[in-house]
């Protein structure tokens, strides 16, 4: 199988406003994200012949991508909607790069949006939270998504001696980055003590260990490297991509402290011909603070059991060895459900364009972006670069 390295590039990237966007529904946010990304790329909608979307929880459609195409009056030759949590939003990029490399289509838009904050009642939100478990082995016991991740957190802490303070350090770093991002939903600085004093959601996870609930959307535009030579924006190259899928339900996971990010990261590094030490920054899925520790280890940025100290020492901060989620992540920028990981991707595009303003990572050339869906189930890792060298 031929490598996809360097064959597809991102030429357009945009976010909508995030937080509480009560005057727009999920469909309107998705369309706005596409329009902004096309404007960023400097191309017209009739040049789009590929569209990938992720269905909305607040405003679902049976054929979501086709509905968005109909709404915008575009008529793609390649059109699909996907949905298996945050990791699958990056799998969409894997599909798009393959479609471009094989000539199936020329210009692909990937767009995701949802209105989890203003589009769902409390009852619908709780129903959604409690529907993730296995209907026979998990749901009868009443756990919600935070409870599943609390199980992972406790297993990790018991295995490696990680502390609640180390988990809290992740939340503090994300908020520090968000404070530099005028578009972030939560920008007030927090301390480790404030994280630990926030109310308990699912032991050992406090409120500030948990991601936000938001409205918002994001989109990117992709095409072949050859066609992108004269585009409005400098291209961001797809250097490597890999997936790893270990389970669907947490009761069936082979491990609670090592994830399929090991597999997705290895495959992405192999395609790129690069390794963890080559990354200037990372966007790492941070739905709950312990997830960041596990993913840092599984992606090779530190050894197993070492991520707590790695974070405490400031290594994921701006100016650290590996700045992580410079936009603020799911913990402080926003989390609109399945589209949440897209904001890490659009942030890395800004960073590699050297257009991130006050939060710019100096001389950023290569970055890793990773997301997972379900309960640490479906993983996808991307490696992006300013050039194809």
Separation between Cα atoms, residue 31 and residue 68, nearest integer Å: 7
Residue 54 parent element (H or E): strand 50-54
At the topology level of CATH, where does 8-119+212-385 sit?
Peroxisomal Thiolase; Chain A, domain 1 (3.40.47)
Burial class (CB in 10 A: 0-12, 13-18, 19+), 141: exposed
Separation between Cα atoms, residue 93 and residue 381, nearest integer Å: 10
Separation between Cα atoms, residue 250 and residue 260, nearest integer Å: 13
pLDDT tens digits along 17-66 = 999 999 999 999 999 999 999 999 999 999 999 999 998 888 889 999 99
Residues linked to residue 216 through DSSP beta bridges, in sequence order:
114
- Radius of gyration of the chain measured on its C-alpha atoms: 19
Looking at residue 177, what is its pLDDT? 98
Neighbours of 375 (CB within 10 A): 26
Looking at residue 128, what is its pLDDT? 64
Nearest to 322 by CA among 361, 274, 271: 361
The three-class DSSP label of residue 56 is coil
The three-class DSSP label of residue 15 is strand
Residues linked to residue 222 through DSSP beta bridges, in sequence order:
10, 108
Residues of the chain with pLDDT under 70: 1-2, 84, 124-131
Q: Are 89 and 114 in contact, with CB atoms under 8 Å apart?
A: no
DSSP state for residue 6 in the 8-state scheme = T
Separation between Cα atoms, residue 347 and residue 289, nearest integer Å: 20
What lies within 8 Å, CB to CB, of 319 at 6+ separation is none
Q: Are 259 and 294 in contact, with CB atoms under 8 Å apart?
A: yes
* 220: Cα separation from own chain's centroid: 13
How many residues would you count in the chain? 389
pTM, rounded to two decimals: 0.95
For residue 204, cis peptide bond before it (omega within 30 degrees of 0): yes
Going from N- to C-terminal start, the domains of the chain cover 8-119+212-385
Whose tokens are 């920008």? That residue is: 187
Nearest to 314 by CA among 176, 138, 154, 162: 176
Separation between Cα atoms, residue 67 and residue 149, nearest integer Å: 34
Looking at residue 84, what is its pLDDT? 61
DSSP state for residue 12 in the 8-state scheme = E
Measured between alpha carbons, how far is residue 266 from residues 32, 284, 298 in Å?
A: 35, 15, 9
Separation between Cα atoms, residue 309 and residue 369, nearest integer Å: 22
Looking at residue 1, what is its pLDDT? 46
The three-class DSSP label of residue 357 is helix
């Amino acid at each position: 199988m031929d490598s996809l390295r360097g064959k597809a590039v991102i030429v357009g990237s945009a976010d909508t406003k995030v937080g509480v966007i009560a005057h727009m529904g999920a469909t309107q946010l998705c369309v706005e994200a596409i329009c902004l990304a096309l404007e960023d790329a400097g191309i017209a909608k009739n040049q789009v012949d590929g569209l990938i979307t992720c269905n909305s929880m607040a405003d679902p459609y049976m054929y979501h991508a086709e509905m968005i195409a109909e709404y915008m009056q575009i008529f793609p030759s390649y059109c699909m909607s996907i949905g298996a949590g945050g990791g699958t939003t990056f799998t969409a990029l894997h599909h798009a790069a393959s479609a471009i490399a094989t000539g199936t289509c020329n210009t692909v838009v990937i767009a995701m949006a949802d209105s989890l904050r203003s589009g769902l009642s409390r009852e619908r939100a709780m129903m959604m939270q409690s529907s993730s478990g296995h209907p026979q082995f998990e749901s009868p016991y009443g756990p919600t998504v935070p409870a599943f991740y609390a199980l992972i957190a406790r297993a990790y802490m018991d295995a490696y001696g990680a502390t609640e303070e180390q988990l809290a350090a992740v939340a503090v770093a994300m908020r520090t980055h968000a404070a530099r991002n005028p578009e972030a939903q939560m920008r007030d600085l927090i301390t480790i003590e404030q994280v630990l004093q926030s109310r308990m959601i699912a032991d050992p996870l406090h409120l500030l260990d948990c991601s936000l609930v938001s409205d918002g959307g994001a989109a990117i535009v992709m095409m072949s490297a050859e066609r992108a030579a004269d585009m409005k924006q400098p291209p961001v190259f797809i250097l490597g991509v890999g997936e790893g899928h270990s389970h669907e339900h947490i009761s069936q996971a082979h491990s609670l402290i090592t994830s399929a990010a090991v597999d997705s990261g290895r495959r992405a590094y192999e395609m790129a011909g690069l390794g963890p030490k080559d990354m200037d920054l990372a966007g790492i899925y941070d739905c709950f603070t312990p997830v960041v520790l596990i993913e840092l280890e599984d992606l090779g940025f530190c050894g197993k059991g070492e991520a707590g100290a790695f974070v405490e020492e400031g290594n994921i901060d701006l100016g650290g060895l590996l700045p992580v989620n410079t936009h603020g992540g799911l913990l402080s920028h926003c989390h609109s459900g399945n589209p949440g990981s897209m904001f890490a991707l659009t942030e890395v595009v800004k960073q590699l364009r050297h257009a991130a303003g006050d939060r710019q990572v100096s001389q950023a050339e290569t970055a890793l972006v990773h997301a997972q869906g379900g309960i640490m189930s479906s993983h996808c890792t991307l490696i992006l670069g300013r050039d194809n060298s």
